[in-house]
Amino acid sequence: MNSEFLGQNLRLARLFHSYSLQELGEQVDKSKQFLSKLETGIEQPTIALENLLADKLQVATDFFYKIDPMPITDEQCHFRKQLTTKVALHQVARAKGEMFKRLVSILDDNLELPRYGFLAFDPGSMDQIERAAEVSRNQWGLGYGPISNMSRVAENAGAVIIKMNGLANEIDAISFATRRPVITLNATGKSTCRTRFAIAHEIGHLSIHIGIQTGDKLTESQANRFASAFLMPRSHFIKECQQALRGRGFNWQAMSDIKYRWLVSKAAILYRGKQLGVFSDEQYRSGVIHLTRHGEALQEDEDEEIKPETPEIVDDSLSILEKQCGISRNNVAKKMYVNASIVDSLLGKVLNNNNKSNVVSLFD
């Protein structure tokens, strides 16, 4: 344990709770300027202040002294977000993801999780990105048809996924390209199709943006192209798009059938058809206008009928830790130097017991 108070850990805990410096300062009767000096290491807290901060932020005092052995760099952090997302919302999402990464490290230390299976590609041209998606599908034995469960695909490839509350609506997902890739999904108000696309988008970042800082228009468009190609491979999807046409317009029943079959949104189908040259720019625009006029710009008619996917690794891992290793969620919290309420917040207090698992205890 480090002997010096680490300001970056105070900042992590503050942002995890979505507190501004001003808001936390009001709770501990300190100015935001003083708290800023604590976070930058200019000042050190008294024991009394340290205890008060720990109480307000639901962590143990040792949390402020624990060095992260593998801190995350900007190049390892990828967002699926609108480019106009405010910096403060970005920081909160990253803090929540970083705290989840610490939980995952506890699981990794005690269990044998699926091996890292993401391939590395140079983004290059859009055609190279298409090829990267195809090679990844082949590597994972997915063929070229619809993918039934994107969460399982990512977790079988070595990622750990969590659906988390408290992320800004503008942010669909955030991933960390660490030894154990972490994908944090926004649990609020996102359709299954949108969530599946977000997972494919993050797989794109993990595959084609290794060591590259993302978040600009170019890298976002590249990850979107990978996601489109991964979910809707061109060799099969060109014919699907052709079936959605009716003269110069669209057969919307056929479009809906394609959505149910491939589990992608109609908006994504329109855009993919345009990418593949099946739909003209004019047809694409008319399709988007149709969705908007029918109130489907944000929520499409079929969305409620498509069953959500449930990530499995964290659920299975915590169950195995408790049943076979005697490590409860409270013990996990202690290993993270946080209160159990932090772990509950990360997990949404939802655990399902499954009989089958691809997680193996290292203590068996």
Instruction: Please list the pLDDT of the chain residue by residue as tens digits (364 residues).
Output: 678 999 999 999 999 999 999 999 999 999 999 999 999 999 999 999 999 999 999 999 999 999 987 777 778 888 766 555 577 888 888 899 899 999 999 999 999 999 999 999 999 999 999 999 999 999 999 999 999 999 999 999 999 999 988 888 888 888 989 889 999 998 887 899 999 999 999 999 999 999 898 988 999 999 999 999 999 999 999 999 999 999 989 999 999 999 999 999 999 999 999 999 999 999 999 999 999 999 999 899 999 999 999 999 999 999 999 999 999 999 999 999 999 999 999 988 644 444 445 554 443 4
Q: Are residues 127 and 258 in the same domain?
A: no
Q: Of 305, 331, 348, which residue constitutes the final position of a domain? A: 305
Question: Of 305, 320, 338, at which residue does a domain stop?
Answer: 305
Q: Are the C-beta atoms of residues 61 and 54 closer than 8 Å to each other?
A: yes
Question: 36: burial class by Cβ within 10 Å (0-12, 13-18, 19+)?
Answer: middle
* 15 plus 74 within the same structural domain: no
Measured distance CA(7)–CA(4) in Å, rounded: 9
Torsion of CA 142, 219, 188, 98, to 10 degrees: 100
Residue 1 is assigned to a structural domain of this protein: no
Domain count, the chain: 3
Q: For residue 36, give both structure tokens.
A: 């800023």
Q: How far apart are CA 294 and CA 285, in angstroms?
A: 14
Spatial separation of the C-alpha atoms in residues 290 and 282, rounded to whole Å: 12
Phi, psi of 137 (to 5 degrees): -60, -45
Q: List beta partners, residue 174.
A: 79, 184
Alpha-carbon distance of 51 to 33, in angstroms, equals 19
Note whether residue 362 is domain-resident: yes
Domain check: are 225 and 159 in the same one?
yes
Q: In this predicted structure, what is the pLDDT of residue 351?
A: 40
Q: Could you tell me if 120 and 261 lie in one domain?
A: no
pLDDT of 81 reads 60
Q: Is 216 within the bounds of a domain? A: yes
Looking at residue 353, what is its pLDDT? 41
pTM for this prediction: 0.88
Q: Which domain holds residue 327?
A: 70-231+312-364
Kindly state whether residue 2 falls inside one of the protein's structural domains.
no
